[in-house]
Amino acid sequence: MATLSFTSETVEMYLKSIAELELLTTPVAISQLAQRLGVSSPSVLEMVKRLAEQKLVTHTPYKGVSLTARGHSRALAVLRRHRLWERFLVDTLRLPWEAVHDYACQLEHAAAPAVVDALAQFLGEPDTCPHGNPIPDAKGAMPAETAIPLLTMEIGQSARLTNIIYEETILLEYLARRGLLPGAMLTLEDVAPYQGPLMVRVDGFDHPAALGREIAARVFVHVIE
């Protein structure tokens, strides 16, 4: 008999968040995770111990957590559902690009495998979410990142926006208002010193946008030429 390991919504959110944070730093600090999930550090630590017991993560005391292979594939399954729902909400239901992230965060926990497969087929097996991030395939494989953060561009360079990582609705709303959607063409005009903002001209917009470094690290681009 298979170990009937039901994964609660809460556990799925922990695993998904760890996967997202591992793209920035690894192992992931307890406090990072606490901030991302909006819960206290002791709560995270307690859950991390439960996850470690189930061999979904490894915890190095005073260092942080990392996903095991098992945990990683669990996380990718959630990410797949999340991004498929996002496509559905934008492409089929025509809901706003910056709002669907939150809606998908609810739906991602509530779709049986048969539903996910049928949804993917209906959508034409898309390979990116509306924010440009890759959708893992049914086996859990995901293409590696080829774009670079806008933060690492050089002044004067032009680029095409490819994707926005570490999605959060407030970030998406901010970027949408400035035309910074996947596919947008932009030019880095200036970088203020002392951790100051990046001035970015977006094609079709009159005024350049000022992006803090925090944000510029999450916006990925393909430089032209």
Partner DNA sequence: CCTTTGAATTAGGTTGCCCTAATTGCAATT
Partner DNA sequence: AATTGCAATTAGGGCAACCTAATTCAAAGG
> At its nearest, how many Å lie between a second copy and the CB of residue 122?
6
Question: Which of DNA, Mn ion, a second copy, none does 118 bind, CB closer than 5 to 8 A by kind?
Answer: a second copy
Q: Of residues 66, 68, 70, 103, which one binds a second copy by CB under 8 A?
A: 103
* Contact pick of 17, 21, 64, 218 for DNA (by CB under 7 A): 64
Nearest-approach distance from CB 207 to Mn ion, in angstroms: 27
Contact with DNA (CB under 7 A) among 10, 25, 26, 92: 10
As a whole number of angstroms, the distance between CA 161 and CA 154 comes to: 15
Task: Compute the least distance from the CB of residue 99 to Mn ion, in Å.
Answer: 11
C-alpha distances (whole Å) from 2 to each of 6, 35, 57, 110, 115 are 11, 35, 20, 21, 22
131 near Mn ion, judged by CB under 5 A: yes
- Give the residue from 116, 114, 142 showing the smallest Cα distance to 128: 142
- Tokens 């949408």, residue located: 176
Does 62 bind DNA (CB under 7 A)? Our answer is: yes
- Residue 119 neighbours by CB distance under 10 Å: 17
Query: How far is the C-alpha of 180 from the C-alpha of 203, rounded, in Å?
Result: 10
Q: Which does 131 bind (CB under 5 to 8 A by kind): a second copy, DNA, Mn ion, none?
A: Mn ion
> How many whole angstroms separate alpha carbon 41 and alpha carbon 34?
5
Helical (H) or strand (E) element with 210:
strand 209-211
Nearer Cβ to a second copy, position 113 or 196? 113
111 makes contact with a second copy (CB under 8 A): yes
Q: Which stretch binds DNA (CB under 7 A): 8-16, 77-85, 150-158, 160-168?
A: 8-16
Tokens representing residue 189 in the block: 């005009």
Instruction: Give yes or no for residue 198 binding DNA (CB under 7 A).
Output: no
Packing angle of the helix pair 30-37, 9-22 (nearest 10 deg): 120
Rounded to whole angstroms, the Cα distance separating 89 from 78 reads: 16
- Asked if 112 interacts with a second copy (CB under 8 A), we say yes
Which residue in the set 56, 105, 135, 159 belongs to the binding site for Mn ion (CB under 5 A)?
Answer: 105
Question: If contact means CB under 5 to 8 A according to the sort of partner, which of DNA, Mn ion, a second copy, none does residue 86 touch?
Answer: Mn ion
The answer for residues whose C-beta is within 8 angstroms of residue 39's C-beta and 6 or more apart is: none
Q: What DSSP designation does 134 have?
A: B
Q: Of 45 and 185, which has the nearer Cβ to DNA? A: 45
Q: Which residues bind Mn ion (CB under 5 A)?
A: 86, 105, 129, 131
